[in-house]
Structure 1
């Protein structure tokens, strides 16, 4: 939540806007980030927001995690 709160309302972030040291990430973490960037870098902030507010992907993730649709996480 802290990261969201820090960047809420900002629609264009630059690499330097995000604090941290990428050198501490392991190979799998870097590969995960690369996949996300490859798939979503062309999406606008509004498109990304709309994607995160769709119920389908969240329901799919809950099913894969074994969480009942009616169960609160």
Structure 2
């Protein structure tokens, strides 16, 4: 299983500099589709259902206060340690979602059940640390 900073570095090596929000959403879809295609998580961390969409708090802590991030933010990570299957899954996610804007990706997550269900009962824009369960990701995205 990969580590989040290895995956983040791999993504930013492929995309070049991206907004922190877009990186979070690409990580989300990489995790979701790994759960579908491989039936196992790409990395162990869970996403929280924040107001602007799914966020990994430890990744957020790394890029906090930055609008744009690049692979140099993850110099301590080794993207070469990802397996061929892990790289292939991320590449498929980037092929589909990579040209979308951060706002488009955020809007998409706001229309999908895993984020919606984790935020159930919360007012729009409210902060939340509610976990988006990996089982919810698997169930929802395998139905698409």
Please, which runs of 5 or more residues in structure 2 have no aligned partner? 1-56, 118-134
Determine the structure 2 residue equivalent to 1:68: none
From 106, 116, 121, the counterpart of 1:49: 106
Aligned partners of 2:67, 2:105: CA distance in 1, in Å? Answer: 10
Please, which runs of 5 or more residues in structure 1 have no aligned partner? 66-73
Between Structure 1 and Structure 2, how many residues are aligned?
A: 63
- Do structure 1's residue 15 and structure 2's residue 90 form an aligned pair? no
Determine the structure 2 residue equivalent to 1:31: 88
Determine the structure 2 residue equivalent to 1:64: 139
TM (normalized to structure 1)?
A: 0.60
SS in 1 for 2:69: coil
Aligned partners of 2:91, 2:69: CA distance in 1, in Å? Answer: 17
Q: CA deviation at 1:18?
A: 4.0
Aligned partners of 1:11, 1:44: CA distance in 2, in Å? Answer: 14
Q: Relative to total residues, which structure has the larger helix share, 1 or 2?
A: 1
Determine the structure 2 residue equivalent to 1:3: 59
SS in 2 for 1:42: coil
Higher RCO (CA < 8 A, seq sep 6+): 2
The structure that has the greater radius of gyration is 1
